[in-house]
Structure 1
Amino acid sequence: MKNKVLLICLSLLISLGVSAQKYTIYIDDFNSEIKIPNKVLSTIRNVVLDGIQQTNRVNIIDAVSVGANLNLSPLEDARRFRADYLLRGNIVSREATDDGSSHPRYHSRENSFKEKFKLQLDLIRTSDGTTIGTRIYEETGSSSGKDASQFAALEHSLLGMSYEMRNFIENYFKVYGSILKLAGDNGKKAKTVYINLGYDDPIKEGQRFDVMEDGMIDGNYMEDKVGEVRIDKIMGPKISLCKVNKGGEDILRIINEGKITLRLVSRKAKLFDD
């Protein structure tokens, strides 16, 4: 009974849809409601782009790289490339200041640069033009001392942006999976399990999933978090080995009973993984 296979649904959820594929996002060239140097705009955009790429959740079409058609709207251009979603970026406001300040350790008057900007991101479904998500990020940074510069202050303001992008994408592009089979236990709790996510899915080694127990009890739907697993090794197109981080006793019990579904839900990003 320990190795009893559980048939569980796996899907990639994008707020309102389910699919095993990676969805494609067209990222526009970003606009600004204020006058802003091109270098600043492109730097912010590149960090956003890099943060999204690191999630491995979606395919990206970069409007700058592929050459946007200026005669089309960003939405029309996204449809031209058959992207599922359009991500529009807009710099709503920016404060860049250069405040003279004294730094005794350098025995001279040095400049202290500050950077503050507000970025709005809109995630738009291309099929009907519906905006399914909007986020506004306010980032600040500073640079002072002998080698201080405004660009260094901008770079400091962007230090957390990759993490912010992970949260943004993982909020709308959750991965759902299932436990296929028990891989190892110590008689009291599950230690390792196989799941039906692999190379074909938007996952990576080290990624964590909440394990949810769901099913029907006396005609009522129930769902409860019972544990957590972490991908240890991706072994094939649709199979990976996971270590059980939490809830090993409950996971083993449910697998042995084989009565209630164990469903995996990708967790939100953390700044530092445990």
Structure 2
Amino acid sequence: MLKKFILSAALVLAAAFASNAQEKHRIYINDFNVAEGVSEADAANIRQAVIDAIHKSQKFELATSDMESALSQEINRRSSEAAMHDAATRNEILMAAGCQYVMSGDIIKCSLNKSTLDDGTVMYECVLSYSITVAEVATSTTVASQRFDSNNGLFSGSWNSSTSPETATANAIKHIEKDIEGFIIENFPTEGTIIPMDYEVKKDKMLSCYIDLGTSHGVKEGDLFSVLAAKVVIGQVTYSEIGKIKVEEVVSDNISRCKVTKGQKELFSAMESYMALDEASQSQQPIKIKAEAKTDVLGAMGKLGL
């Protein structure tokens, strides 16, 4: 038997679930340290690619010295160069500007390797290495840090190579978007809940459902989420993964339709248990979702050192 609840009702209730969506934190992107040998133009393009990727994720509200006028005025008032490179003074300024996080970066290498193929074709490969670190402004505690190397992996040299040196460099910088997407999902995963309406069930298996995340959260078709169900242990609510879902359609700012790719029976059972709860318990024990990084063959090979 196929059960399908009414979508319009889910749309009406979506606003209530949207209130559970994570508030965007403001992050300040500091100037990057640049190693000797990296051109000024390449350094600027690399930093801008990081900023663009963070903006595209819609995970943070961005604040940079060149785009945040109020912050720029305060920085200038305190002598920007000295102030923003002194941690204590910088954090005081950033807290006043409402920033919760600060990102710093190091551009370690951006150079070209030249080779000649058997047919005489000259090829250029861009070797790009950089690292980023995110710290809490209030405590100066590092919460995430990672180094990225374009030449790390079995297939390195393919996507960042070209017969043109400019194109080879551009290809390597273009890949930064994937780097940052994975970095954000791993360290600052978007979280939400399954909307307990309009889910599709067949033979006690949940086939599809709606979640309270959409375009305003940077959700895209193909995004993956793990599903976590609540369990009360000694009066405390704990969560464990019971399945996975994949976004098939982004419906609105705060609604997306998903296909259940793993744990169809478990999700159906969890929803049945949730619907049996009283209203107060439902608010304390929603079925949660947490963003997962998409499988990246190149990245996986790189992490294995292949």
TM-score range, shorter-chain basis?
Answer: 0.7 to 0.9
Q: Give 1:116 shift.
A: 2.3
Look up the match of 1:153. Answer: 168
Question: Per-residue CA shift, 1:2-36, capped at 9, x if unaligned?
Answer: 97x9xxxx899xxxxx9721112211231213242
Identity of aligned residues (%): 19
One-letter amino acid of the counterpart of residue 269, structure 2 = R
- What number of residue pairs does the alignment pair up? 255
Look up the match of 2:130. Answer: 119
Local SS of the residue matching 1:40: helix
Q: Give 1:182 shift.
A: 4.1
Verify the 8 A CA contact 1:193 1:244 in the aligned structure 2.
yes
Q: Distance in 1 between matches of 2:253 and 2:168?
A: 44
Q: Give 1:115 shift.
A: 3.1
Q: Which runs of 5+ in 2 are unaligned?
A: 11-16, 152-156, 278-284, 298-306
Q: Give 1:103 shift.
A: 4.5
More helix by share: 2
Q: Give 1:53 shift.
A: 2.3
Query: Which of 84, 90, 94 is 1:73 aligned to?
Result: 84
Verify the 8 A CA contact 2:195 2:212 in the aligned structure 1.
yes
What is the RMSD of the two structures over their aligned residues, measured on CA atoms? Answer: 3.6
Q: Distance in 1 between matches of 2:116 and 2:167?
A: 19
Local SS of the residue matching 1:254: helix
Query: Which of 219, 224, 240 is 1:208 aligned to?
Result: 224
Note closer, same or farther for the CA distance 1:64–1:35 as it changes in structure 2 (3 Å cut).
farther
Alignment of 1:102-141 (within 5 A): 102-103=116-117, 105-106=119-120, 111-140=122-151, 141=157
Look up the match of 1:245. Answer: 261
Q: Give 1:78 shift.
A: 3.7
Note closer, same or farther for the CA distance 1:182–1:251 as it changes in structure 2 (3 Å cut).
farther
Look up the match of 1:15. Answer: none
Question: Per-residue CA shift, 1:223-247, capped at 9, x if unaligned?
Answer: 4322122334455565443332222
Note closer, same or farther for the CA distance 1:130–1:213 as it changes in structure 2 (3 Å cut).
same
Note closer, same or farther for the CA distance 1:237–1:162 as it changes in structure 2 (3 Å cut).
closer
Q: Which runs of 5+ in 1 are unaligned?
A: 13-17
Question: Per-residue CA shift, 1:114-160, capped at 9, x if unaligned?
Answer: 4323212110111222221111112235646xx432x3332233353
One-letter amino acid of the counterpart of residue 154, structure 1 = T
Structure 1 residue 265 corresponds to structure 2 residue 272:
no
Verify the 8 A CA contact 1:170 1:269 in the aligned structure 2.
no
Q: TM-score, normalised by structure 2?
A: 0.68
